[in-house]
A and B are shown apart, each in its own frame.
Chain A
């Protein structure tokens, strides 16, 4: 029970820290925040008295902490405000963007799992064999290829040279194939490394040869003794892959000119549309803190000895 309280307390402190860091960043951004709010609200040049009024309303004139309080209060109630460019509420647009990115991320994750899991399982049956070594080599290469180059290479091959698939936009399901493949290959490369070392460790458990001598079938050993042991790090990996997928979505959506969370963020930054930027930042932080909290709790369930991951 104290463990649960500790985990929750950590999550709250981390979220508060992220919010503070985000606000500090916006506070130090070049430009007059009052002017930005004025432009968003009135869409016109406003007299200085109005700017002063806005400063007072937003707590901007009373220093950092007062402004932070004014800033955080609506966010805590789930109100992300309105775009400082279009004046439209942020949340509906953000929701639509997320709805476009989630299928892409899931498709990427699926491709990554389909490619990496069987390969890692077969490769580690004979550690040091040709399959194992080539798997490691491909995974190392994959880790060094940035998504933005891989995406361009895939466009060059499948869209330009072969003409099989569309490259830009998101009109049809076929438009999803290349972006998902770009994400999926990256996921596969990172998963392969982690799965391989996890499986090697699981296969190296000291009691496995004894089971084999007693005549327990190889497949049963794998199912009952190797898989559960290798599953523990997978929980962590999924947390890491989530970060990878979000980063990948930013890049991939820009390359393939797809609407979604990533292009939402990049466009918002380019337009200096801070209400949109902070909404993405806060939702992302919330997502990752929640995932880490679940990972922490899963660890405690899977292995009671683990007090916490950084202990």
Chain B
């Protein structure tokens, strides 16, 4: 749990304070210095229209991380609620909810996100909606999978007899036990969201230019692959380092949970 908190803190700081560390305006155009190599005024060089790559990376961090955080937290809340409804609602509700979940899982989520974001029209709102709609199912499955066994637990039976409302039972008797597993899923979904945001950006369906975002930076850099290959190295490294850090923290967290929670 501590590693995840630390990581969240570091990534959060990067997302919040990254932009203020940027040496330049990420959208300022400097045509005479276009495609400049690293060094001097521009520590990591400039892109095709002379914008500072380092500044764009740092501002891009707050876009990528901020949006990924937003998407994964909305998914966490929605998916947990849906999973709890399935677990607590009885067999019929469970069957319906799980078939709805299967419908969304019947699709590779990135393909679905591309279709949704593309059909709704490019923009940050469509991007968030597309990644959230395709990103709640794992939470729902985990919440439902663990929660299903809870109906027969002593303290849940006692709470029902005491007259506690279903919402309060979910809050006090289900959530505390679900939380560790949900946090593990959340780390995985945070990494997926970062990959999804940059993939949609790379395909042109994500955050729109001139906003700096790692995926759109890669898309821009692709054209100059032969002349200025470094341009595509930086955003790629940023994505890989972030996703790797999140995945490793998630693995460590999973291993620190008890075997019982791991198998759930």
Contact = CB atoms under 8 A, between A and B. Distances in A.
Q: Do chains A and B touch in the complex (CB under 8 A)?
A: yes
Contact of B218 (A140, A149, A274): A149
A189 B195 CA distance: 16
A292 B102 CA distance: 10
Contacts of A140: 244, 247-248, 251
Interface in B95-140: 98-100, 102-104, 106-108, 110-111, 114-116, 118-121
B10 to A, nearest CB: 16
Contacts of B232: 149, 152, 156
A243 B243 CA distance: 20
Nearest to A281: B115
A174 interface: no
A85 B116 CA distance: 19
A49 interface: no
Contacts of B116: 25
Interface string A110-154: 000000000000000000000000000000110111101100110
A21 B104 CA distance: 9
Size category of the B interface is: 35 or more
Interface in A287-301: 288-289, 292
B199 A148 contact: yes
A285 interface: yes
Contacts of A281: 107, 115
B118 A269 contact: yes
B225 interface: yes
A270 B99 CA distance: 31
B225 A160 contact: yes
Contact of B119 (A18, A243, A269, A310): A269
Contacts of B218: 148-149, 152
A266 interface: yes
Chain B interface SS verdict (over half): helix
Nearest to A147: B199
A250 B106 contact: no
A32 B174 CA distance: 46
B132 to A, nearest CB: 14
A246 B225 contact: no
B249 to A, nearest CB: 12
A244 interface: yes
A177 to B, nearest CB: 18
A281 B111 CA distance: 9
A285 B102 CA distance: 11
Interface in B207-242: 215, 218, 221-222, 225-226, 229, 232, 236, 239-240
Given A246-B111, A277-B115, A17 B145 contact: no
A158 to B, nearest CB: 12
B203 A266 contact: yes
Which of A21, A28, A251, A255 gathers most chain B CB within 10 Å?
A: A21
A277 B215 CA distance: 23
A17 B236 contact: no
B237 to A, nearest CB: 9
Contacts of A153: 236
A141 B229 contact: no
Contacts of A17: 99-100, 102-103
Contact of B225 (A13, A21, A152, A270): A152
A149 B236 contact: yes
Contacts of A160: 225-226, 229
B38 interface: no
A66 interface: no
Nearest to A156: B229
A288 B105 CA distance: 9
A288 B121 contact: no
Given A14-B102, A17-B103, A26-B119, A284 B199 contact: no
Given A265-B114, A310-B145, A30 B107 contact: no
A57 B115 CA distance: 26
Which of A140, A144, A255, A285 gathers most chain B CB within 10 Å?
A: A144
A149 B229 CA distance: 12
29 contacts: A10-B99, A15-B103, A17-B103, A21-B104, A25-B119, A29-B120, A144-B239, A144-B244, A145-B236, A145-B240, A146-B195, A146-B236, A146-B240, A149-B218, A149-B232, A152-B222, A155-B225, A160-B225, A160-B226, A250-B111, A251-B199, A251-B203, A255-B222, A284-B108, A284-B111, A289-B106, A292-B102, A292-B106, A310-B141
Interface of B: 98-100, 102-104, 106-108, 110-111, 114-116, 118-121, 141, 145, 191, 195, 198-199, 202-205, 215, 218, 221-222, 225-226, 229, 232, 236, 239-240, 243-244, 247-248, 251
Given A153-B236, A281-B115, A289-B106, 7 more contacts: A13-B102, A17-B100, A17-B103, A144-B239, A156-B229, A243-B108, A266-B118
